[in-house]
Amino acid sequence: MLRVDNLSKSFGGLTVTNDVSLSLQAGERLALIGPNGAGKTTLVNQISGFLGADAGTIHLQGEDVTRWPAHRRVRQGLVRTFQISKLAFTLSAVDQVALAIHQRDGSINNMWRRKTSYGPVLDEARSILDALQLGRLAHTTPSEMAYGDQRLVEVALALALKPKVLLLDEPMAGVPKSEAQLILDALERLPADLAVVIIEHDMDLVFRFAQRILVLANGAMLAAGTPDDIRRNEVVRAVYLGKAGQL
């Protein structure tokens, strides 16, 4: 599904991504963890096309997308969410999800049909929101929502694009404990055939959710393997948690 080979990137003298490789099958859940500044978001930026890599290749379903601009990768099914929500603040949730659907099926270029006449699109938008327990907020704008719900809207938008590979950048970031469960539920209910990469700091979530874990530090891969492997890995414990850490 997704194959990243020897990806590298430097800013001047600072190497932010150092020969990173990973591969992902359909339906796999991969967690990307590492201390702050390890280069996790930078890696996701490069995979999704928001940042250009210096070296290495990225293949999506066999196609080389390394030089492709971000919007083209999205159309091929490579979708990401952002650490800080990027939402249209005065458009209602259903409008935004519908917009994503319009973009996906090409109807966004229609300049004459009223957007309210697109029954199937609106139905799909509402069902995506319902699946994420956002049904009651369909006509609310993000500026009127709790932050946890905003993060969920972002996930809804990602799903509306019918991704094949989904990159989630810290979906729990900034979400108060009281709202965290909503997001956890949403993550559990992601489509089974979707390949997911999730960046997270919340270890409970990571160990519950991931089938494989990749540990990044200083831009390079420190360790990779199943959650058990990582749990027992001495180097990871030292780097990530300090000697007194308990996993």
Partner 1 sequence: MQTTSALPRMASVPQRFSWHVYVIGLGLILALYWFFPGNTLIMTRIAIMAIFVMSLDLLTGYAGLATLGHAALYGAGAYAAGLCAKFLTGDPLIGLAAAAGAGALLALISGAFLVRYQGLAFLMLTIAVVEIMHNLASKMQHITGGDDGLSGFAIDPLFGRFEFDIFGVTGYWYSAIALFLCYVVLRRIMSSPFGLCCEGIRENRDRMSANGTRIYPQLLKLYVLSGAFAGIAGGLSAQITQVVGLDSMGFTLSAEALVMLVLGGAGNLVGAILGTALFTGIHHFAATANPFHWLFVIGGLLMLVVFLPRGFVQAALKRLARRVADLAGRSA
Binding site for partner 1 (CB under 8 A): 70-72, 74-75, 79-80, 82, 86-91, 95-96, 98-100, 102-104, 107-116, 118, 141, 143-144, 157, 161
The CA angle 103-68-79, to the nearest 5 degrees, is 45
- 134: burial class by Cβ within 10 Å (0-12, 13-18, 19+)? buried
Nearer to partner 1, 36 or 112 (CB): 112
For the bound state, the minimum distance from the C-beta of residue 234 to partner 1, rounded and expressed in Å, comes to 39
For the bound state, the minimum distance from the C-beta of residue 232 to partner 1, rounded and expressed in Å, comes to 37
Nearer to partner 1, 65 or 161 (CB): 161
Nearer to partner 1, 31 or 97 (CB): 97
Nearer to partner 1, 95 or 179 (CB): 95
Q: Is the separation of the CB atoms in 40 and 199 below 8 Å?
A: yes
For the bound state, the minimum distance from the C-beta of residue 100 to partner 1, rounded and expressed in Å, comes to 5
Strand blocks (E) in the chain? 2-11, 14-24, 29-33, 55-60, 63-64, 78-80, 165-169, 195-199, 212-217, 220-225
Residue type at 25 in one-letter notation: Q
